[in-house]
Structure 1
Amino acid sequence: MLFLDDSKAAHLFFNRLMESLPDHVYFKDREGRFLCVNRAHALYLGLRSPSEAVGRTDYDFFEPAQAKQKDADEREILRSGVGFIEKEERANSIKGVERWVMTTKLPLFGDDGEMIGTFGISRNISEMKQAREALNAHHRLLSTLIDILPCRIVVKDREGRIKLTNRTYRTALGLAEEDSVLGRKLSELSSDGRTQRYAEDDRAVLEQGASILNREDYDASPLGDKRWLLLSKVPLRDASGRVEGVVGMAADITAQKESEARAVEAQRALEEKNRQIESELQIARELQTELMASSMQSVQAELAAGSPFLPRLAFHYEPSAHLAGDFFQFVPVSQKSFALVMCDVMGHGVKAALVTTLVRGLVANIRVDDTSPAQTLHALNERLCALLDRPPLPRFVTAVHALFDTEAGVVRMASAGHPWPLLEREGEGAAPVSELECGPALGLIRGAVYRDIEFSVARGDRLLVFTDGWTEEADDDGEEFGIQRLAEALRRCRAENPYTTLDDLATALRGHAPGRTLADDVCAVLAAF
Structure 2
Amino acid sequence: MTPPQEGENIHDLTEGRLDLALRASNEGIWDWWTDKNEIYYSRRILEFLECGDKRAPNFFTPPHKTVHKDDRDRFMAALANALDPGGPELFSIDCRVHTGSDGWRWLRIRGTVVRNRLGQATRIAGSMIDISRRKSAEAQIDEERHQLRLLIDHVPLQVYFKDTKSRFVLANKRMAEWNNVANVDEITGKHDRDFFASEHWEAAARDEQEIMATGNSITGKLEHEVREGRSSTWVLTSKFPWFDRKGKIKGTFGVSSDVTELVEAQHKAANLASELAERNQVYEEEVQLAREIQQALARSHFPSIFTSDQQLQFGARYQPTSGLAGDFFEIVRISDEVCGLLICDVMGHGVRSALVVAMLRGLMEKQRRSASDPSAYLSGLNNGLSSILERAEATMFATAFYAVVDLNEGTIHYACAGHPGAIVSGSKGVYQIAARKDERGPGLGLIPKAGFPAQEIPLDQVKRLLLFTDGLIEAENEAGDEFLESGLIKAIEDRTGEPLEEMLDGVITTVLAHAEGHHFGDDVCLLGMEVGKA
Normalising by structure 1, report the TM-score: 0.73
Residues 273, 35 of structure 1: CA spacing in aligned structure 2 closer, same or farther, 3 A cutoff?
same
Q: Which residue of 1 aligns with 2:405?
A: 404
**What letter is aligned with 2:452?**
Y
Residues 244, 493 of structure 1: CA spacing in aligned structure 2 closer, same or farther, 3 A cutoff?
farther
* Partner residue of 2:441 out of 431, 439, 442: 439
Do the aligned partners of 2:221 and 2:238 also contact (CA within 8 Å) in 1? Answer: no
Deviation, structure 1 residue 388: 0.4
- State how 1:93-132 maps to structure 2 within 5 Å: 101=106, 103-107=108-112, 115=123, 119-124=127-132, 125-132=135-142
Q: Which residue of 1 aligns with 2:470?
A: 468
Residues 177, 16 of structure 1: CA spacing in aligned structure 2 closer, same or farther, 3 A cutoff?
closer
Q: Which residue of 1 aligns with 2:355?
A: 354
Do the aligned partners of 1:211 and 1:233 also contact (CA within 8 Å) in 2? Answer: yes
Q: Which residue of 2 aligns with 1:377?
A: 378
Distance in 1 separating the partners of 2:371 and 2:103: 115
Deviation, structure 1 residue 395: 1.9
* Partner residue of 1:302 out of 305, 308, 319: 305
325-334 or 101-110: which moved more?
A: 101-110
Distance in 2 separating the partners of 1:273 and 1:448: 41
What whole-Å deviation, never above 9, does each CA across 1:325-379 have from its counterpart, x for those lacking one? 2222222344443222222222222332222222222233235757753443333
What whole-Å deviation, never above 9, does each CA across 1:97-122 have from its counterpart, x for those lacking one? 578x4733324779xx9515665334
Q: Which residue of 1 aligns with 2:328?
A: 327
**What letter is aligned with 1:245?**
G
Residues 107, 424 of structure 1: CA spacing in aligned structure 2 closer, same or farther, 3 A cutoff?
farther
SS in 1 for 2:385: helix
* Partner residue of 2:523 out of 500, 521, 524: 521
**What letter is aligned with 2:291?**
R
Residues 248, 55 of structure 1: CA spacing in aligned structure 2 closer, same or farther, 3 A cutoff?
closer
SS in 2 for 1:315: strand
What whole-Å deviation, never above 9, does each CA across 1:156-196 have from its counterpart, x for those lacking one? 32344442457898899998886666446667999959866
Q: Which residue of 1 aligns with 2:210?
A: 204
Residues 407, 319 of structure 1: CA spacing in aligned structure 2 closer, same or farther, 3 A cutoff?
same
Residues 456, 97 of structure 1: CA spacing in aligned structure 2 closer, same or farther, 3 A cutoff?
farther
Distance in 1 separating the partners of 2:246 and 2:429: 94
Residues 287, 9 of structure 1: CA spacing in aligned structure 2 closer, same or farther, 3 A cutoff?
same
Deviation, structure 1 residue 445: 2.3
Residues 235, 107 of structure 1: CA spacing in aligned structure 2 closer, same or farther, 3 A cutoff?
same
**What letter is aligned with 1:104?**
I
Normalising by structure 2, report the TM-score: 0.72
Residues 136, 123 of structure 1: CA spacing in aligned structure 2 closer, same or farther, 3 A cutoff?
same
Do the aligned partners of 1:108 and 1:119 also contact (CA within 8 Å) in 2? Answer: no
Percent identity over the alignment?
24
Deviation, structure 1 residue 135: 1.0
SS in 2 for 1:464: strand
- State how 1:3-82 maps to structure 2 within 5 Å: 7=12, 10-11=15-16, 14=19, 27=30, 29=32, 30=34, 35-36=40-41, 42=47, 47=50, 53-55=55-57, 57=59, 70=75, 73-74=78-79, 76-79=81-84, 80=87, 82=89
Do the aligned partners of 2:321 and 2:521 also contact (CA within 8 Å) in 1? Answer: yes
* Partner residue of 1:156 out of 158, 162, 165: 162
SS in 1 for 2:363: helix
**What letter is aligned with 2:146?**
N
**What letter is aligned with 1:378?**
S
Deviation, structure 1 residue 123: 1.2
Q: Which residue of 2 aligns with 1:235?
A: 240
Q: Paired residues, what number?
A: 505
SS in 2 for 1:302: coil
Q: Does 1:284 align with 2:290?
A: yes
Q: Which residue of 1 aligns with 2:450?
A: 448
Do the aligned partners of 1:228 and 1:257 also contact (CA within 8 Å) in 2? Answer: no
Residues 230, 194 of structure 1: CA spacing in aligned structure 2 closer, same or farther, 3 A cutoff?
closer
RMSD: 5.0
**What letter is aligned with 1:404?**
V
Distance in 2 separating the partners of 1:179 and 1:524: 85
SS in 2 for 1:135: helix
What whole-Å deviation, never above 9, does each CA across 1:237-293 have from its counterpart, x for those lacking one? 436766542346778989988887777677666656555544443343333344455
Distance in 2 separating the partners of 1:489 and 1:165: 85
Q: Which runs of 5+ in 1 are unaligned?
A: none
Q: Which residue of 2 aligns with 1:395?
A: 396
Distance in 2 separating the partners of 1:97 and 1:481: 100
Distance in 2 separating the partners of 1:38 and 1:485: 120
Do the aligned partners of 1:351 and 1:393 also contact (CA within 8 Å) in 2? Answer: no
- State how 1:484-495 maps to structure 2 within 5 Å: 484-492=486-494
Q: Which runs of 5+ in 2 are unaligned?
A: 1-9, 116-120
Residues 103, 419 of structure 1: CA spacing in aligned structure 2 closer, same or farther, 3 A cutoff?
farther
Do the aligned partners of 1:430 and 1:491 also contact (CA within 8 Å) in 2? Answer: no
Deviation, structure 1 residue 514: 3.0
What whole-Å deviation, never above 9, does each CA across 1:413-468 have from its counterpart, x for those lacking one? 33222223334557966656513264322222234343334445666754332222
Q: Does 1:138 align with 2:140?
A: no
Distance in 2 separating the partners of 1:6 and 1:515: 120
Residues 242, 465 of structure 1: CA spacing in aligned structure 2 closer, same or farther, 3 A cutoff?
farther
Residues 186, 396 of structure 1: CA spacing in aligned structure 2 closer, same or farther, 3 A cutoff?
closer
Distance in 2 separating the partners of 1:469 and 1:514: 15
